[in-house]
Amino acid sequence: MMEEKDVNIKQKIQQNLLEWFAKNKRDLPWRKTKDGYKIWVSEIMLQQTRVDTVIEYYNRFIDRFPTVKELAQAEEQEVLKYWQGLGYYSRARNLYKGAKMVWEKYGGILPDNMEQIKKIPGIGPYTAGAILSIAYNLPYPAVDGNVLRVFSRILDIKEDIAQPGTVRYIQDKVKEYIPSGYASEFTESLMELGALICTPISPLCLVCPLYHQCAARQKGIQEKLPIKSKKVKPKRMHMVFCVIRSEEKILLIKNASNGLVGGMWGFMGKEGHPSQDDQTLKLMLDDLNIPVQHVQKLGTVRHIFTHMDWDMHLYMCEALYQGHIGQEHEWVGKEEIENYPLPKVYQKIWEKIEW
C-alpha cells in the first residue's frame, strides 16, 4: 500500500511535469501529429541520434513517404538513401520491413494495441510504448536512457540500469506514474525533462519542476545517479581495404543484406595484422578474379562502430579491365556515387580517393 504522503508526491510529480511540459516543450515536427506512422518513424530515427540531426531527416523522409503505403511500395535502396548519414541502417531496413507488414496485414494502419504492434519488425518494448502512448494515448511506459536517468533520480534508485531487472522495475514504476488520460503528454514530458533539465552531467535542478519532489536532489546525489556498469570498449581492429579502379571507375560491391552495413554499397575489406598488409591484400586479390597490375597505399582512416573500432588501411589497386565478380557489384564514376547508399564508414574511404 502506498502511504498518503507518497500519493501526494506522485500527484505533484504528474502535475508539475505536465504543466512544465505544456509551457516548455520544444516545437518539433513529430509533435504536430498523432499519426502512429509518423510517430513510429520519428522514434526509430531518434534511437541513437540527436534531435537536432533527426529534424531534417524526418522532414525529408515524411515528404517522400507520407504514409505506410508509400514506404511499403518503395524500393529498399531508396529508403536507405533517405537514411544515409543517420547510421545504424538496420533501423531503416526494419522500418521498411515493418511498413510492408503493416501495409499487407493491416491495410496501412499501424495497430493500436501491444499484442500486434510488438510483432512488427524493429518495434521493441521502448518503441511500442512510445507509439502507443504518444500517438494513441494508451498507458504504456516508454523507457529509454533518458527516462531511466530521470526516474533513477526522482525515486533515488541505486540499482544498475545496465541490468534488465532494473529496467523492468523502472518500467513498472513509470507505468504506475502515468496520469489517467494523459499518457501522451506524460511520456513526452519525461523525455523532454531528460533532454532539457535532467541532463547526464550538471542537471539544471534549480529550474526543474520536480525540484521539491526529487529524492536524489534532496540528498544532493543527483549527479551520482543513475548507476550504470561500464560497457566493453569497442574492439580495436586492423582492417585492410582495396579500392579497385579501372579507367576512372571504381568497383563498388553490395554487402550481404544482414550484418553491420547490410544492403549498402561499399568496398572490399578484410581484417588483417599490422605490418602484414601485403599478405592480406594478396588473399583478397586472389579471390577477386580480376587481374590487378599496380597497388599503392591511399592512406588510413578510423571508424568507430558500437562494438568495433576499425583502423582502416586503404590501398588503391589498378585493375587491367572492368571485370565481373561473383557478387552484386557496379563500376562507378566520380559523379555517379550519389545514386548509391554508402554508409559513413565507406564514405570516408570514397573521400580518400584521388581522381
Nearer to ligand ADE by Cβ, of 16 and 146: the residue is 146
In sequence order, what DSSP letters do the residues of 264-320 get, joined into one string? SEE-EEEE--TT-HHHHHHHHHHHH-S-EEEEEEEEEEEEE-SSEEEEEEEEEEEES
Nearer to ligand ADE by Cβ, of 130 and 225: the residue is 130
In sequence order, what DSSP letters do the residues of 187-241 get, joined into one string? HHHHHHHHHHTS-SSS--GGG-TTTTT-HHHHHT-GGG-SB-PPPPPPEEEEEEE
| Subset of residues 102 to 161 that bind ligand ADE, contact rule: CB under 6 A | none
Beta pairing partners, 251:
331
Residue 308 burial (CB count, 10 A): 15
What is each CA distance from 170 to 14, 42, 164, 166, 322, in whole angstroms? 16, 23, 10, 6, 58
Nearest of 91, 94, 88 to residue 120 by alpha carbon: 94
Tell me the number of residues near ligand ADE by CB under 6 A: 8
| Subset of residues 222 to 281 that bind ligand ADE, contact rule: CB under 6 A | none
**For this structure, is 335 an active site residue?**
no
Nearer to ligand ADE by Cβ, of 49 and 67: the residue is 49
Task: Single out the catalytic residue among 4, 43, 76, 159.
Answer: 43
| Subset of residues 1 to 40 that bind ligand ADE, contact rule: CB under 6 A | 28
Minimum distance, C-beta of residue 217 to ligand ADE, in the bound complex (Å): 23
Indicate which single residue of 46, 79, 148, 174 sits in contact with ligand ADE (rule: CB under 6 A): 46
Nearer to ligand ADE by Cβ, of 135 and 155: the residue is 135
Nearer to ligand ADE by Cβ, of 197 and 242: the residue is 197
Nearer to ligand ADE by Cβ, of 43 and 185: the residue is 43
Residue whose cell numbers read 504543466: 19
Please report whether residue 292 would count as binding ligand ADE according to CB under 6 A.
Answer: no
* Site track 169-198 with ligand ADE (rule: CB under 6 A), x = hit: -------------------x--x---x---
In sequence order, what DSSP letters do the residues of 42-98 get, joined into one string? HHHHHTTS-HHHHHHHHHHHHHH--SHHHHHTS-HHHHHHHHTTS--THHHHHHHHH
d(CA 326, CA 318): 19
d(CA 310, CA 143): 32
Indicate which single residue of 9, 21, 43, 139 sits in contact with ligand ADE (rule: CB under 6 A): 43
Indicate which single residue of 35, 49, 51, 70 sits in contact with ligand ADE (rule: CB under 6 A): 51
Minimum distance, C-beta of residue 341 to ligand ADE, in the bound complex (Å): 24
Catalytically active residues are 43
Q: State the residues that interact with ligand ADE by CB under 6 A.
A: 28, 42-43, 46, 51, 188, 191, 195
